[in-house]
Chain A
Amino acid sequence: EAQVTQNPRYLITVTGKKLTVTCSQNMNHEYMSWYRQDPGLGLRQIYYSMNVEVTDKGDVPEGYKVSRKEKRNFPLILESPSPNQTSLYFCASKYSRVSSHEQYFGPGTRLTVT
Chain B
Amino acid sequence: KNQVEQSPQSLIILEGKNCTLQCNYTVSPFSNLRWYKQDTGRGPVSLTIMTFSENTKSNGRYTATLDADTKQSSLHITASQLSDSASYICVVTRADGLTFGKGTHLIIQP
Contacts and interface: CB of A to CB of B under 8 A. Distances in A.
B43 A106 contact: yes
Interface stretch (B15-23, B60-68, B72-80, B96-104): B96-104
B31, B42, B93, B100 — most chain A CB neighbours (10 Å): B100
Contact of B49 (A40, A102, A105, A106): A102
B103 A108 contact: no
A92 B31 contact: no
B32 A100 contact: yes
A105 B32 contact: no
B43 A108 contact: yes
A40 B102 CA distance: 6
Interface in A6-31: none
Nearest to B31: A99
Contact of A100 (B41, B43, B49): B49
A107 interface: yes
Interface string A87-114: 0001010000001101111111000000
Contacts of A106: 43
Say which size band chain B's interface belongs to.
10 to 19
B89 A90 contact: no
Contacts of A41: 102
A113 B42 CA distance: 21
A107 B42 contact: yes
Given A43-B89, A108-B41, A103 B46 contact: yes
B51 interface: yes
A40 B103 CA distance: 9
| Closest 10 pairs (CB-CB, A-B) | A105-B43, A42-B102, A99-B31, A99-B93, A43-B100, A42-B100, A105-B44, A102-B46, A90-B43, A106-B43
26 contacts: A41-B102, A42-B89, A42-B101, A42-B103, A43-B100, A45-B97, A45-B98, A58-B97, A90-B43, A90-B44, A99-B31, A99-B32, A99-B95, A100-B31, A100-B32, A100-B51, A102-B46, A103-B46, A105-B45, A106-B43, A107-B41, A107-B42, A107-B43, A108-B41, A108-B42, A108-B43
